[in-house]
Amino acid sequence: MSEPTHDGGGERTRGREGTRAAEEGRGAAEPLGGPGALRGGGRQDAGPPGAPGAGSGAGAPGAGEAAAVRAATGTLLYGFALSRVTGAFVRLGIPDALAGTALPADRLAHATGTHEPSLRRLLRAASALGLLTVRPGGHYELTLLGELFRDDPRLRRLAELYGEPAVWRAYGALEDAVRDGGSAFRHAHGTGLFTALETDGPLAARFTGAMGTVTAAQTEQVVSGFDFGGIGHLVDVGGGDGTLLAALLRAYPRLRGTLLERPAALAAAPPVLRAAGVADRCALLEGDFFAAVPVGGGGPADACLLKNILHNFGDDDCVRVLRACRAALRPGGRVLVPALVLPEAGGGAGTQPDAETAVALSDVEMMVLTAGRERTLAEYRALFARAGLALPPGAPPALPGLPHHSMLEGTDGTEHGTREARDGAAVRR
């Protein structure tokens, strides 16, 4: 899995005429937490004057802070409901049905194949969250926020994936994972995520689509933030639909690529590579990267790329993957891992709160969906060392625009390999 993206709870601007109705309609139905416990778009109110935590004694020391703290409980308790409403809104095809038009509930129910009275209840919630506005005559129309879930493939595919029952059941087993150290997905389904992807076609398609759009959102930072010059043959190990590899092949015309993936993901790669105009320079290989990393007809690789791979697995499996990559390299080759690197204890001061939230939730997501976790630099050094690879001393090159992300460069752990990596890293910095 890739790191989830969180907006830190800030409200988006509605920006479309007619959204006032949605704004004024908020609070018509309150969640169980009582008035003001949760407002659309993640906004919380302190509640009416005199309510607990309402801050009615504004002049009292700490009253405002106490009100803000109490207000924040709304999102903590009911955030799951926001996600479920948004997921149902997208997965039922409401954004598509309202593309460029406004429809009454009965016609929208016909267009989406839904039960009209139940749909009206969902539409009321979607309006309260700012996804819809209600025109005179009861016609529903997308707001700018709602349009994003039609126009932005990344948001749309993430909403589809996080609305997937298999994902929701896994999050429901989070407590079990914390108790025994296992994967919540395995607790919920009796099998691991990646095994499930081999047998559940719809889940695999949504997973591959969502991860491809997340990679696309990070591709520019990876391509522009690190010098891939000097690499003749790059093997993208577990590279999904080839989004990142296609961008690298376009940016480096002399580069040849090999994409190694499971069959379901590999099937999505040809159109991505053709659209980028690089299909003739990329070999597609099915394989198990735990066992071996084949390199196709291009001979040993100058580099193996592992993006959003290692954080999916436990330490022993990571070492197996790294060893397989090392065996596929020519002498002096590199294993490149663009990764989220956890700050060491006490080392996160000065970063943006939203970035800290994204880091923490990404680590929790690994616990829910996989057997892996996010790691510190020291933990990555230990993994690479066990695989016979070495990271250069000092901080790895940061990837600008991606908070807490760095490019880890592992080379053969010999004296020569370590010196080569250190010298190369110094030049790239």
pLDDT at 18 over 60: no
pLDDT at 45 over 60: no
Distances (CA, A) of 288 to 35, 251, 261, 284, 325: 54, 28, 8, 13, 12
First and final C-alpha spacing in the chain: 29
pLDDT digits (tens, 9 = 90+) for 210-223: 988 888 889 999 99
Q: Cα dihedral sign for 346, 348, 349, 353?
A: negative
Strands 389-390 and 103-104: unpaired
Residues 6+ apart with CB under 8 A from 367: 174, 177, 178, 183, 184, 373
Query: Average of pLDDT values for 90-116?
Result: 97
Question: Average model confidence (pLDDT) for the chain?
Answer: 84
pLDDT digits (tens, 9 = 90+) for 289-304: 998 998 877 679 999 9
- Residue with the bigger pLDDT between 99 and 419: it is 99
Q: Where are the beta strands (DSSP E) in 88-137?
A: 103-104, 132-135
pLDDT at 61 over 80: no
Helix (H) or strand (E) holding 261: strand 256-261
pLDDT at 20 over 70: no
Strands 139-142 and 132-135: antiparallel
Which segment of 45-49, 160-164, 369-373 scores lowest on mean pLDDT? 45-49
CATH number of the domain at 19-150, please?
Answer: 1.10.10.10
Closest CA to 359 of 311, 314, 321: 311
CATH class of 218-428: alpha beta
Query: Average of pLDDT values for 343-366?
Result: 79
pLDDT digits (tens, 9 = 90+) for 374-419: 999 999 999 999 999 999 999 999 999 999 999 999 998 654 444 4
Strands 405-412 and 389-390: antiparallel
Domain boundaries, the chain: 19-150, 218-428
- Contact between 345 and 390 (Cβ < 8 Å): no
Token couple for 303: 């580099």
Q: Cα dihedral sign for 8, 9, 13, 17?
A: positive
Q: Could you list the active site residues?
A: 311
Residue bearing tokens 């937490």: 33
Across the strands, what pairs with 227? none
Residue type, 392: P
Confidence of residue 350 (pLDDT cuts 50, 70, 90): low
